[in-house]
Amino acid sequence: MNTPTTTLGILDAPAQTRETQLFHSADWFAHLRQQGWQRFQTLPMPTREQEKWRFSDTRTLSLEGYAPAPAPSEADVAKLLQRSQLISHPAGLMVHIDGHCVLEPQLSPELAKQGVIFESLEKAVKHHPALLKQHLLQHPVNLGGDKFQALHQAWLRSGYFLYIPTGVHVAQPFVSVQWTLAENSAVFPHALVIADDRAQGQVLDFHFGAQLDSRALAISCCDVHTGQEAKLERLSVQGWGQQTQSFQVDNTCGGRGAKIVAINAALGARRARLENTVRLEGPEANVNLYGITVATDGQEYDQRTLQIHAAPHTKSDLLFKNALLGKSRTIFSGLIKVEPDAQRTDAYQTNRNLILSPEAEADSLPGLEIEANDVKCSHGATTGQVSPEELFYLQARGIPLKVAQELLTQGFLEEVLSKVSHPEACDLLRTLMQEKFHRS
Amino acid sequence: MTPSLEIKNLNASIGERAILKNFSLTIPRGEVHAIMGPNGTGKSTLAKILAGHPDYTVQSGEVFLDGEQILGLEPDVIARQGLFLAFQYPSEIPGVTIANFIRAALVARQAKGAPFDAKAYYAQLYAKMDELKMDRKFTSRFVNEGFSGGEKKRCEILQLAMLKPKYAVLDETDSGLDIDALRIVSEGVNRLRGPDTGFGVITHYQRLLEYIVPDRVHIMWDGRIVHSGGKELALELEAKGYDWVKQELATH
Ligand SMILES: Nc1ncnc2c1ncn2[C@@H]1O[C@H](COP(=O)(O)OP(=O)(O)OP(=O)(O)O)[C@@H](O)[C@H]1O
Ligand SMILES: [Mg+2]
C-alpha cells in the first residue's frame, strides 16, 4: 500500500495536519502535542558516545521517510481483526491498524457497572479529560529516549486507556493489538493503565507487523500507575515486522503494597530499544520485571532498565533473558537506584544471555546506586553458550543438533515464560518464539 | 549370523592420555553382557565413545551396529540407528520437561512431517511410568533437575523403555538406587529383554546381576577386557576382589 503524497511525514509539524482536528474539542491535548513537537525539535539525535546509548548502533538510526498511514481498507480490517483474536475470553479487545482504532472494546455490563474503563485514547481524551490530563505523559524520561518520546507526544493519537476502580478485580485480561500495515507507516501506540487501590487486573499488549518484513517506525509509550495494594500483570509482546525500528518507553509506578509483574517479550523489529523505568513509590511495593528475547540475524535489541526505590520495605526483582542467533546483538543496561529513605529494600537484577552463534554479541552493563544503608541488593550478568554436555545428552537420545539447540534455548527461556500467568498468552508467546527459531 | 554390537580393537584417548587399549567386545542381540572393572578403568569412556561423544580421540578400531560402522557418526544418528546409553551421570536440562524431551526424541525417529499421535504417546508414557513406579507429575518436571540420584536413574530407564533401542548400554544404573528401586529398575530392564535387544550392563555390584541375570560377564582392566566368563564370574570377582585379577594378569 502506498502512502498518498499529500500526507505529511512525521518530520513535518503535526500541528498543520488534520491530526489536531481529531481532537479539536480538547485544547489541553493539542497543547500537550505541541509541547512534544517543540521538545522534539530542540533535542539532538542520540549518539553512542552518550552513556545512555553506549553500545547501541546509532549510525543506523533514522526517522526519515515515515508517515502516518491512512485508514486501512475494509478488507484489511477484516483480515487483521481475524488475526487479532488471540485470546478466547478477554475482558475487552481493542485493535488498532496503523494508528487507527478499528475495534473498540465491548466491556461486559458488570464491568461497566463497576466503573471499569477500557477505551481508545481517541475516545478517552474526550470522555475522561481530568484523569488523562493528570496522568498522560507525566513521567520524566530517564533513560535516554527523550527525543523519541517527544515525537511520540507530538503525534499522540492512538492507544488505550484502562482504568480499574478501587477494589475491582477483573479475572479476564484486557487485550490490545496494534498492527502496522502500510509500508513506512509511523505509529505511536500509547497505553495508560491505572489500577486504583486494591484493584486487580491483567493487560496483554501485542504489537505486530501485518507482514513479517513490514517496514515501519513504532514509538510506543506505556504508563502504569497502581494504587495501594493493587495487583497488576502486564505482558507486552513486541512483534513488529522485521524491517521496523521500534522504540518503547515504559514507566511503572507502584503504590503502597502494590504487586506488579511486567513482562517484555521482544521478537520483532530490525532494531528495538526498550526503556523500562519502575518506580516503587509506596512502602512494601513489589515489582517483578522480566524480559525475554529471541534475537536473530541482523537484529539489535537494546534494553535499558531503571529500578527506583523511593520508599522503605520495597522489593524489585528483574530478570532479562536473551537468546541470540545469527549475527544479532543485545545490549542490557540496568540500574538499581535506592533513594535515602528507602531502607529495608530488596533489589535484584539479573541478565542472562545465551549465545547460539559465533557472530552474535551480547553486552551487559549492570549498575547500582545506593543511598540507603540498610538494603539487600544484587546484580549479575552471565553470557554463555549451550552446555556441550546437555547438548550431548539430547543428541544421545536421537535428537538432531538443531532441534536440541532449540529445546535448550526454550528451556533457557522457560524460566521467564512461566511467569506469564495467562495460559493462552503463554502458549502464544511460546509458539511465536518457536516459529521465529524455525525461520532463522 | 546373529546381529550384534561389535567393538573391534578400539584405541582411544582423552587429551594425551590413552584410555581404551585394543578394546574388543561383541554383544549379540538377545544377550545381556555385564562389564565390571575398577574405578577409572575406562568403562564410562567406552560407553560415551559408542554413543558418539565428541571429546574423545579414537586412534584406531571399529564399532559395528548390526554390521554397520558407527564410529565417527553424530551422536543423534547413532542413537537413531538403535544404540541407547543410560548415563552414569545424567545431565540436568533446565526448562525442558520430561514429556517434551521424550516426545522430541520420538519425533526425531518419525518420517519428516509425519503427524505425532500425542494421545497414544501419553498413554504409553504413563503406562511405563506406572511400571517404574514414577509419579505422573514427573512428566512436567524439567529433565533431571532437582531429581534424587535414584530418580535420575529411573528416568533413564523410562527413556530406554520409551525409545526401545536395539542395544542399550547401562552405565552404573544401579548406583544410588535403594533396594526397592533396584528391583523396580531391574524389572524394567528385564521387561525389555528379548531376542531383539542386546544389553551391556556396566556395574560394580554383583547384587544387580542377581536381578538382571547376565549371559556373559566381562572384567575390564586398564582399558580392555581381561577376563570373560559366565554369570558365576561376577560371584568369583566379588569373593576375590580385583587383586585376584591383577595377580592373574601378572602370571599370564
Ligand atoms: N574429560 C576427561 N578429562 C580427563 N580425564 C578424563 C576425562 N574423562 C575421563 N577421564 C579419565 O579417564 C579414565 C577413565 O574414566 P572413566 O570415567 O571411563 O572410568 P570408569 O571406568 O567409568 O570409572 P568409574 O567406575 O569410577 O565410573 C579416568 O582416569 C578418568 O579420570
Ligand atoms: Mg564410569
Q: B54 CA distance to ligand 1 centroid (A)?
A: 15
Q: B14 CA distance to ligand 1 centroid (A)?
A: 9
For residue B243, what pLDDT is reported? Answer: 87
Kindly give, in sequence order, each residue whose CB lies less than 8 Å from that of residue B160, ignoring residues fewer than 6 positions away: B84, B86, B168, B170, B188, B189, B192
For residue B248, what pLDDT is reported? Answer: 80
Report pLDDT digits (tens) over A263-298: 999 999 999 999 999 999 999 999 999 999 999 999
Ligand 1 contacts CB of residue B159 (under 6 A)? no
Contacts A–B by Cβ distance under 8 A: 81
Whether the predicted pLDDT of A3 surpasses 60: no
pLDDT tier, B113 (very low <50, low <70, confident <90, very high otherwise): confident
Alpha-carbon span B93 to A406, nearest angstrom: 12
Q: Residue with the nearest Cα to atom 2 of ligand 1?
A: B14
Residue A372's region, left for phi above 0, alpha for psi from -120 to 50, else beta, is beta
Residue B119 cell numbers, joined: 494421545
What number is the average pLDDT over the span B87-116? Answer: 96
What number is the average pLDDT over the span B19-39? Answer: 96
Whether the predicted pLDDT of A15 surpasses 80: no
Q: Is B146 on the interface with A (CB under 8 A)?
A: no
Q: B165 CA distance to ligand 2 centroid (A)?
A: 21
For the entire predicted model, the pTM comes to 0.92
Which listed ligand is nearest to B40 at the C-alpha?
1
What is the distance in angstroms between the Cα of A275 and the nearest Cα belonging to chain B? 28
Domains of chain B by start residue, with CATH: 4-93+166-251 (3.40.50.300)
Q: Which positions in chain B touch A398 (Cβ < 8 Å)?
A: 76, 79-80, 105, 108-109, 163
3-class secondary structure, A239: strand
Q: Residue with the nearest Cα to atom 13 of ligand 1?
A: B40
Q: Which positions in chain B touch A393 (Cβ < 8 Å)?
A: 87, 90-91, 93
A411/B87 touch (CB, cutoff 8 Å), yes or no: no
Whether the predicted pLDDT of A395 surpasses 90: yes
- Quick one: which atom of ligand 1 is closest to the CA of B55? 1
Report pLDDT digits (tens) over B59-73: 999 999 999 999 999
For residue B229, what pLDDT is reported? Answer: 95
Report pLDDT digits (tens) over B171-209: 999 988 999 999 998 999 999 999 999 999 999 998 999
Q: Determine which helix (DSSP H) or strand (DSSP E) holds B41, and give its type and residue range.
A: none
For residue B252, what pLDDT is reported? Answer: 65
Whether the predicted pLDDT of A8 surpasses 80: no
Contact A339, A369 (CB under 8 A): no
Contact B242, B36 (CB under 8 A): no
For residue A1, what pLDDT is reported? Answer: 41
What number is the average pLDDT over the span B109-135? Answer: 95
Q: Residue with the nearest Cα to atom 19 of ligand 1?
A: B40
A393/B90 touch (CB, cutoff 8 Å), yes or no: yes
Q: Is B159 on the interface with A (CB under 8 A)?
A: yes
Q: Residue with the nearest Cα to atom 24 of ligand 1?
A: B39
Whether the predicted pLDDT of A244 surpasses 50: yes
Let me know the angle formed at the C-alpha of A428 by A427 and A434, rounded to the nearest 5 degrees. Answer: 90
For residue A2, what pLDDT is reported? Answer: 44
Task: Write out residues 400-419 of A within 8 Å (CB-CB) of B.
Answer: 400-401, 403-404, 407-408, 410-415
Q: Is B116 on the interface with A (CB under 8 A)?
A: no
Whether the predicted pLDDT of A21 surpasses 80: no
Q: Which positions in chain B touch A404 (Cβ < 8 Å)?
A: 76
Q: How far is CA A101 from CA A41, A122, A123, A320, in A?
A: 28, 8, 10, 32
Report pLDDT digits (tens) over A326-355: 999 999 999 999 999 999 999 999 999 999
What number is the average pLDDT over the span B104-123? Answer: 95
What number is the average pLDDT over the span A396-424? Answer: 96
Show me where the domains of chain A are located: 18-386
Contact A160, A204 (CB under 8 A): no
Mean pLDDT of chain A: 94
ipTM above 0.90 for this complex: yes
Q: Is A382 on the interface with B (CB under 8 A)?
A: no
Residue A38 cell numbers, joined: 517543540
Alpha-carbon span A66 to A7, nearest angstrom: 10
Q: Which positions in chain B touch A407 (Cβ < 8 Å)?
A: 93, 96, 100-101, 104
Q: Which positions in chain A touch B92 (Cβ < 8 Å)?
A: 390
Identify the CA nearest to A384 among candidates A350, A355, A351: A355
Which residue out of A382, A389, A397 would a mutagenesis test of the B interface target, given it has the greatest number of B Cβ atoms within 10 Å? A397
A398/B100 touch (CB, cutoff 8 Å), yes or no: no
Question: What does the radius of gyration of chain A's CA atoms come to, in whole angstroms?
Answer: 21
Range in A4-18, A48-62, A140-154, A233-247 with the lowest mean pLDDT? A4-18
Q: What residue spans of B33-117 are helical by DSSP H? A: 43-50, 75-81, 98-107
pLDDT tier, A9 (very low <50, low <70, confident <90, very high otherwise): confident
Which residue out of A294, A395, A405, A418 would a mutagenesis test of the B interface target, given it has the greatest number of B Cβ atoms within 10 Å? A395
pLDDT tier, A23 (very low <50, low <70, confident <90, very high otherwise): low
